[in-house]
Amino acid sequence: MSTASRTNRQWIYRRRPVGPIEPDTYELVTTELATDVGRGEVLVAARYFSVDPYMRIQQAARNTWEAPHPLGAVQGGAVVSRVIAKGDDVLGIAEGDWVLAYTGWQELARCHVSQVTRLDPDAAPVSTALGALGMPGRTAWFGLMEAGRPRPGETLVVSGAAGAVGSLVVQFGKRAGCRVLAIAGGPDKCRFVQGELGADVAIDYRPLAGDAARIAAELARHTSGIDVYFDNVGGPITDAVMTHLARRARVVICGQVSQYDGGLDAPALGPRFLQHLLFQRATIKGVLARDFTHRMDEYVRLAAPWVKDGTLVAKETVVDGFEKLPSALAEMLKGKNVGKMIVRIP
Amino acid sequence: MSTASRTNRQWIYRRRPVGPIEPDTYELVTTELATDVGRGEVLVAARYFSVDPYMRIQQAARNTWEAPHPLGAVQGGAVVSRVIAKGDDVLGIAEGDWVLAYTGWQELARCHVSQVTRLDPDAAPVSTALGALGMPGRTAWFGLMEAGRPRPGETLVVSGAAGAVGSLVVQFGKRAGCRVLAIAGGPDKCRFVQGELGADVAIDYRPLAGDAARIAAELARHTSGIDVYFDNVGGPITDAVMTHLARRARVVICGQVSQYDGGLDAPALGPRFLQHLLFQRATIKGVLARDFTHRMDEYVRLAAPWVKDGTLVAKETVVDGFEKLPSALAEMLKGKNVGKMIVRIP
Q: What is the pLDDT of residues A4-23, one digit of tens each?
A: 999 999 999 999 999 999 99
In chain B, the number of structural domains is 2
Q: What was the pLDDT predicted at B2?
A: 58
Q: What pLDDT digit, counting tens, does each position of A63-102 carry? A: 999 999 999 999 999 999 999 999 999 999 999 999 999 9
String of b and e for A89-101 (b: at least 16 CB within 10 Å)?
Answer: ebeebeeebbbbb
Mean of the per-residue pLDDT values of chain B: 96
User: Do both B210 and B105 map to the same domain?
Assistant: no
Cβ distance of B235 and A272 shorter than 8 Å = yes
* Domain end marker among B290, B307, B323: B290
In a domain, B26, yes or no: yes
Nearest to A234 among B64, B274, B282 (CB): B274
In a domain, A304, yes or no: no
Q: What was the pLDDT predicted at A200?
A: 98
Q: How confident is the model at residue B124 (pLDDT cuts 50, 70, 90)?
A: very high
Q: How far is it, in rounded angstroms, from Cα B114 to Cα B120?
A: 17
Q: What pLDDT digit, counting tens, does each position of A260-278 carry? A: 999 999 999 999 999 999 9
How close is the nearest chain A Cα to the Cα of B268, in Å? 6
**By C-alpha distance, which of B190, B151, B162, B147 is closest to B340?**
B162
Cβ distance of A65 and B278 shorter than 8 Å = yes
Cβ distance of B64 and A275 shorter than 8 Å = yes
**By C-alpha distance, which of A188, A181, A185, A224 is closest to A208?**
A185
Q: How confident is the model at residue B3 (pLDDT cuts 50, 70, 90)?
A: confident
Three-state secondary-structure class, residue B251:
strand
Cβ distance of B269 and A270 shorter than 8 Å = yes
User: What are the angstrom distances between the C-alpha of B228 and each of A208, A254, A324, B158, B275?
Assistant: 38, 21, 44, 8, 18
Residues 274-293 of B with CB under 8 A from A: 274-288, 291
Q: Which residues pair with A49 in a beta bridge?
A: A79, A343
Nearest to B267 among A256, A273, A278 (CB): A273
Q: What was the pLDDT predicted at A1?
A: 47
Best mutation target, A62, A242, A253, A259, to test chain B (most B CBs within 10 A):
A253
In a domain, B298, yes or no: no
Residue A134's H or E segment, with its range, is: none
Indicate the length of chain B as a whole number. Answer: 346
Q: What was the pLDDT predicted at A24?
A: 97
Cβ distance of B278 and A238 shorter than 8 Å = no
In a domain, B302, yes or no: no
Q: Which residues pair with B10 in a beta bridge?
A: B29, B106
User: Do both B275 and B141 map to the same domain?
Assistant: yes
Q: Any chain A CB within 8 A of the CB of B64?
A: yes
Which chain A residues are closer than 8 Å to B234 by Cβ? 272, 274-275
Nearest residue of chain B to residue A66 (CA atoms): B279
User: Do both B121 and B231 map to the same domain?
Assistant: no
Q: How far is it, in rounded angstroms, from Cα A197 to Cα A313?
A: 7
Which chain A residues are closer than 8 Å to B284 by Cβ? 274, 277, 283-285
Q: What pLDDT digit, counting tens, does each position of B162-181 carry? A: 999 999 999 999 999 999 99
Segments forming the whole domain that contains residue A199: 135-290
CATH number of the domain bearing residue B85: 3.90.180.10
Question: Complex ipTM above 0.90?
Answer: yes
Cβ pairs bridging A and B (under 8 Å): 128
User: Do both B178 and B240 map to the same domain?
Assistant: yes
Burial bucket for residue B134 (CB in 10 Å: 0-12, 13-18, 19+): buried
**By C-alpha distance, which of B278, B182, B164 is closest to B228?**
B182
Which chain B residues are closer than 8 Å to A270 by Cβ? 269-272
User: Do both B149 and B120 map to the same domain?
Assistant: no
In a domain, B80, yes or no: yes
CATH number of the domain bearing residue B239: 3.40.50.720
Q: What pLDDT digit, counting tens, does each position of A203-244 carry? A: 999 999 899 999 999 999 999 999 999 999 999 999 999 999
Residue B257's H or E segment, with its range, is: none
Cβ distance of B281 and A285 shorter than 8 Å = yes
3-state class percentages of chain B: helix first, strand second, coil last, to nearest 5 = 30, 30, 40
Q: What is the CA radius of gyration of chain B?
A: 21
Residues 193-252 of B with CB under 8 A from A: 231, 234-235, 238
Residue B117 has pLDDT above 90, yes or no: yes
In a domain, B286, yes or no: yes
Cβ distance of A285 and B277 shorter than 8 Å = yes
Question: What is the per-residue DSSP string for B258-301?
Answer: GGTTTTTTSPPEEE--HHHHHHHT-EEEE--GGGGGGGHHHHHH
Cβ distance of A274 and B256 shorter than 8 Å = yes
User: Do both A75 and A186 map to the same domain?
Assistant: no
- For residue A321, how many other CB atoms are within 10 A of its CB? 12
User: Do both A181 and A281 map to the same domain?
Assistant: yes
Q: What pLDDT digit, counting tens, does each position of B223-263 carry? A: 999 999 999 999 999 999 999 999 999 999 999 999 999 99
Cβ distance of B285 and A287 shorter than 8 Å = no
User: Do both A160 and A66 map to the same domain?
Assistant: no
User: Do both A158 and A66 map to the same domain?
Assistant: no
Residue type, B178: C
Q: At what angle do helices B235-242 and B212-222 cross, to 10 degrees?
A: 50
In a domain, B10, yes or no: yes
User: Do both B191 and B237 map to the same domain?
Assistant: yes
Three-state secondary-structure class, residue A334:
coil
Q: How far is it, in rounded angstroms, from Cα A336 to Cα A163?
A: 9
Q: What was the pLDDT predicted at B209?
A: 87
Which chain B residues are closer than 8 Å to A274 by Cβ? 231, 234, 238, 253, 256, 284, 286
Burial bucket for residue A28 (CB in 10 Å: 0-12, 13-18, 19+): middle
User: Do both A220 and A183 map to the same domain?
Assistant: yes
User: Do both A26 and A163 map to the same domain?
Assistant: no
In a domain, B309, yes or no: no
